């Protein structure tokens, strides 16, 4: 019978890569902690309505990419395609939002039925941050600074560019959308299929087109900046000043509109050219109307999320993968000495809880056990033998060319080994 395979676009992450993932997670946790954000966890399954009402009925995500199904009760549920909707639902349901300020973060898998390619998967991991109850551009600047701090921690800041835009309020975007549709209708013979499909349902997404002919046509099109309110313009100007003051470089990209409907005023993306087509590693912005739209009391908000797979790919491409923590010590255990080996290992782990100590299991010749110790990159091996144990000593070997071999008494072994491990 054929072996079962993972679902297309859903990746297994194997031990050779998990240390990179752990380093990325640890860096994200350090940074959100440093900025005073608190973790929130919410389910991967929600009512489909939640995503329809937040992300928008005519977005690609809701129209084409959700994993939706009727459960055994006949409720229509969806795997979460992103975290903001669930975060707002959870925070509001538990009374965390009204008249309060919250700084929250989450991480976890998201699901979108997209065409898989490098950097684009059907199950992917996001790190997200959401801030509630703060209306000024200061919180927008803080969110961007937080992300910039993470790029510095990961040593990838040089490879990322920040793009920002002011997309105004939803009514303003509607008016602009109508003007854009009218302009494009007047040039209908030049529209590609994608633009034709979106002309009436979601004209702003046409601005994202990568087709050079469409870009040429769009160069003459109405611009969103002419439709947004004075108030949103001054918010945006203040954000720019705060970013400059913080030393965060940015580009204003008037075409940046984002693929989810809940945004207003400033939006941003961090992009890289080191990943090919899927170059956006992080995106977000303000979404002042969403809490109310989902039935909560009016509560302003802003946030962003980043794709962990894309960050891991970046670390690999730029050769910034953190070094694996090596095995400190491998205990070579001749047949019949399992009991002695395990109690020695327990003592050593008790004395050096931060060190990685492996006691060989499964028997076999000492020479092949030693080979395994080398292949794991262990720094030292203890070579147990019953004669030595009878005399209360063990042999410690440094596993490198010309490495020393020392005979240690069982009593002094923990201190001696700890000293050697610290020295190098």
Provide, rounded to whole angstroms, the least separation between the CB of residue 364 and ligand HAM: 43
Binding stretches for ligand HAM (CB under 6 A): 82-84, 112, 114, 120-121, 124, 126, 128, 130, 259-260, 280-284, 287, 303-307, 309-310
E strands, 245-379, where? 251-252, 264-271, 280-286, 301-307, 329-332, 357-359
Provide, rounded to whole angstroms, the least separation between the CB of residue 124 and ligand HAM: 3
Residue 321 has φ and ψ, to the nearest 5°, of: -65, 125
Q: Smaller CB distance to ligand HAM: residue 42 or 287?
A: 287
Q: Smaller CB distance to ligand HAM: residue 213 or 316?
A: 316
- Residue closest to 383 by CA, chosen among 334, 326, 342, 328: 334
Provide, rounded to whole angstroms, the least separation between the CB of residue 337 and ligand HAM: 49
Provide, rounded to whole angstroms, the least separation between the CB of residue 251 and ligand HAM: 16
Q: Smaller CB distance to ligand HAM: residue 130 or 172?
A: 130
Provide, rounded to whole angstroms, the least separation between the CB of residue 139 and ligand HAM: 12
311 membership: H or E segment, kind and range: helix 308-317
Q: Smaller CB distance to ligand HAM: residue 235 or 310?
A: 310
Q: Which residues contact 54 (CB under 8 A, 6 or more apart)?
A: 84, 85, 88, 260, 261, 262, 290, 293, 294
Q: Which residues contact 28 (CB under 8 A, 6 or more apart)?
A: 105, 107, 127, 150
CA distance 47 to 62: 13
Provide, rounded to whole angstroms, the least separation between the CB of residue 366 and ligand HAM: 47
Q: Which residues contact 406 (CB under 8 A, 6 or more apart)?
A: 395, 396, 416
Measure the CA angle with vertex 148, ends 130 and 283; round to 5°. 50
| Residue of closest CB approach to ligand HAM | 307
Provide, rounded to whole angstroms, the least separation between the CB of residue 238 and ligand HAM: 20
């Amino acid at each position: 019978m054929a072996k079962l395979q993972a679902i297309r676009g859903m990746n297994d992450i194997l031990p050779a890569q998990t240390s990179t993932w752990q380093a990325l997670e640890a860096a994200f946790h350090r940074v959100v902690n440093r900025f005073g954000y608190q973790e929130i966890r919410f389910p991967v399954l929600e009512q489909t309505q939640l995503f329809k009402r937040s992300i928008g009925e005519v977005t690609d995500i809701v129209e084409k990419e959700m994993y939706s199904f009727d459960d055994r009760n006949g409720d229509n549920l969806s795997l979460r395609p992103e975290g903001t909707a669930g975060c707002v639902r959870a925070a509001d349901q538990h009374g965390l939002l009204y008249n309060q300020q919250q700084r929250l973060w989450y991480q976890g898998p998201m699901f979108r039925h997209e065409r898989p390619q490098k950097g684009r998967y059907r199950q992917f991991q996001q790190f997200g941050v959401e801030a509630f109850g703060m209306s000024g551009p200061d919180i927008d600047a803080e969110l961007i600074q937080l992300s910039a701090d993470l790029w510095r921690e990961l040593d990838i800041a040089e490879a990322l560019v920040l793009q920002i835009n002011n997309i105004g309020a939803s009514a303003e975007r509607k008016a602009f959308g109508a003007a854009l549709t009218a302009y494009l209708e007047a040039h209908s013979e030049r529209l590609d299929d994608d633009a034709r499909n979106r002309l009436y349902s979601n004209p702003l997404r046409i601005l994202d087109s990568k087709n050079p002919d469409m870009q040429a046509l769009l160069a003459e099109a109405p611009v969103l900046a002419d439709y947004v309110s004075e108030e949103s313009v001054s918010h945006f100007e203040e954000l720019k000043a705060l970013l400059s003051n913080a030393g965060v470089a940015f580009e204003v990209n008037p075409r940046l509109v984002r693929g989810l409907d809940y945004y207003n005023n400033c939006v941003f993306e961090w992009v890289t050219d080191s990943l090919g087509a899927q170059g956006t590693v992080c995106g977000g912005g303000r979404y002042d109307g969403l809490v109310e739209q989902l039935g909560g009391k009016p509560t302003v908000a802003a946030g962003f999320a980043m794709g962990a797979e894309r960050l891991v790919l970046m670390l690999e491409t730029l050769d910034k993968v953190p070094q694996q923590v090596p095995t400190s010590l491998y205990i070579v255990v001749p047949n019949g000495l399992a009991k002695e080996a395990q109690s020695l290992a327990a003592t050593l782990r008790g004395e050096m809880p931060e060190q990685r100590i492996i006691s060989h299991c499964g028997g076999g010749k000492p020479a092949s056990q030693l080979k395994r110790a080398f292949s794991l990159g262990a720094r030292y091996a203890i070579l147990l033998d019953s004669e030595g144990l009878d005399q209360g000593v063990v042999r410690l070997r440094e596993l490198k060319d010309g490495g020393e071999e020392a005979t240690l008494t069982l009593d002094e072994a923990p201190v001696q080994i700890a000293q050697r491990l610290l020295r190098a």
